[in-house]
Amino acid sequence: MNIPEHVPSELVYQFDHNTDEGLLIAPEARFLELLKKFPGGLFYSPCLGGFWVTTNYDAYVAVVRNTEVFSSKQITVPPTDGAYRLIPVNIDPPEHAKYRSVLAKQFSPGHMRKLEGDIRMQANQLIDEIAKKNSCDFVAEFAEILPVTVFMKMMGLPIERLNEFREWAMIALTETDPAVRMPTMMKIIGLMTEILHARQTSPEDDLISVIIHAEIEGRPITMEEAQAYCLLLFLAGLDTVVNAMSFGLRHLANHKELQQQLRENPEIAPDFVEESLRRYSFVNIGRVLACDYEFNGQLMKKGELIIVPQIPANLDEKAFENPLDFELDRKGSSRHVAFNTGPHNCLGAHLARIELALTYQEWCKRMPEFGEDPSTTPVLAAGPVMGMRNLQLVW
């Protein structure tokens, strides 16, 4: 493995966030180990062609807010084919704002609150079936259904293909073999292109229709731009909330006192959501250097890649006192970066918060005291978006 001359040996450490064994067993412990090993906030991994990694809160924030130096034109390590853009994620300011504005109204707090009744109803329909038993796989029977169904309805995608589309999203986000990943990306883009063409002539009340009839600074959106919007929404909408929901429920399963608190005081659900997002983060977003730059006293070169993991940022004791503790009344909990920060903060954050809060409220209200099945261990996935593939609950 070639180490660039400007990288000091004390900052070199072999780490592959796609396959690291520690991340597949205990991701929080593994990233805290790296934070302790590199307290300066930065190290360099020679894996995957070489990339930098941040290890604390200040370094994370400094990278994602400095868009002139740390560009979003490349957000994965190893880099993906440049032909597949994600709009507005892969666009830097100031152009980023005009592309983000296309969807801003659709994801505004007021617009999202209109969905609360339908989301609560869908949650209870799923719980109706689960409550008939004395155990379940929460991921397969709830988390992979509720937020995905909500988002597919918003997009205008056929609900009957939910399982198929969920599998596509998982492959696109976690598969490291290009020979497997790229054909799946082609399937997603092909599907979206077909629906975009249909909505051009017959618009419906869905996001795909909004996108294909949008204007960018007074001009009609291009098909390539519309495809890039839809690709991002497909990947984000069919995976991220599933992961957040699963980690949150696992914490509840192992803390009976919190279940009871939510049963007696459902209004604390938003506080539980924020602390759960902080305590159990799962995204390792990337950036590419737009120019040579000195960061934390270290020279970095144009074209080099860097990932900014959320876990060590949200568990940094310099940013959050007693970060491993789960505190509903934590001061400054909203400073977490689970939804990123800066211009690229998550567009779907309002929807995610509503889905998560309603899930925790309805689950605790409807279900008896539950726990994690001690005979099973959840299978974890690493990569750009880490996740939990199963969660066996018993009651």
Residue 96 in this model has a pLDDT that exceeds 80 = yes
Task: Enumerate residues 6+ apart whose C-beta is below 8 A from 279.
Answer: 251, 314, 315, 323, 324, 326
What residue type is 285 in one-letter code?
I
| Choice between 177 and 90, residue whose per-residue pLDDT is larger | 90
Which of 6-15, 179-188, 262-271 comes out lowest in average pLDDT? Answer: 179-188
Is residue 1, in this structure, part of any structural domain at all?
no
State how far the Cα of 347 lies from the Cα of 323, in Å rounded to an integer: 26
When pLDDT is averaged across residues 218-241 and rounded to a whole number, the result is: 91
Is residue 3, in this structure, part of any structural domain at all?
no
**What pLDDT is stored for residue 301 in this prediction?**
98
- Count of domains forming the chain: 1
8 Å CB contact between 337 and 281 = yes
Is residue 188, in this structure, part of any structural domain at all?
yes
**What pLDDT is stored for residue 83 in this prediction?**
60
Burial-class residue 81 by CB neighbours within 10 Å (0-12, 13-18, 19+): exposed
**What pLDDT is stored for residue 82 in this prediction?**
56
Which residue stretches of 238-372 are H helix? 240-253, 256-264, 269-279, 310-314, 349-366
**What pLDDT is stored for residue 1 in this prediction?**
67
Domain range spanning residue 93?
9-394
Is residue 202, in this structure, part of any structural domain at all?
yes
State how far the Cα of 210 lies from the Cα of 286, in Å rounded to an integer: 29
Is residue 2, in this structure, part of any structural domain at all?
no
| Tokens 């980690």, residue located | 247
Global pTM reads 0.94
**What pLDDT is stored for residue 332 in this prediction?**
82
| Choice between 92 and 181, residue whose per-residue pLDDT is larger | 92
State how far the Cα of 305 lies from the Cα of 289, in Å rounded to an integer: 6
Percent of the residues in the chain that have a pLDDT greater than 90, as a whole number: 88
For 4, list phi and psi in degrees, rounded to 5: -55, 145
pLDDT tens column, 243-302: 999 999 999 999 999 999 999 999 999 999 999 999 999 999 999 999 999 999 999 999
When pLDDT is averaged across residues 5-15 and rounded to a whole number, the result is: 97
State how far the Cα of 3 lies from the Cα of 10, in Å rounded to an integer: 12
pLDDT band at 153; cut points 50, 70, 90: very high
Is residue 150, in this structure, part of any structural domain at all?
yes
Residue 125 in this model has a pLDDT that exceeds 90 = yes
Is residue 57, in this structure, part of any structural domain at all?
yes
Residue 56 in this model has a pLDDT that exceeds 70 = yes
When pLDDT is averaged across residues 56-75 and rounded to a whole number, the result is: 97
Give the domain CATH number at 132.
1.10.630.10
When pLDDT is averaged across residues 362-384 and rounded to a whole number, the result is: 96
| Choice between 53 and 172, residue whose per-residue pLDDT is larger | 53
**CA nearest to 286, candidates 27, 45, 38, 11:** 45
Is residue 70, in this structure, part of any structural domain at all?
yes
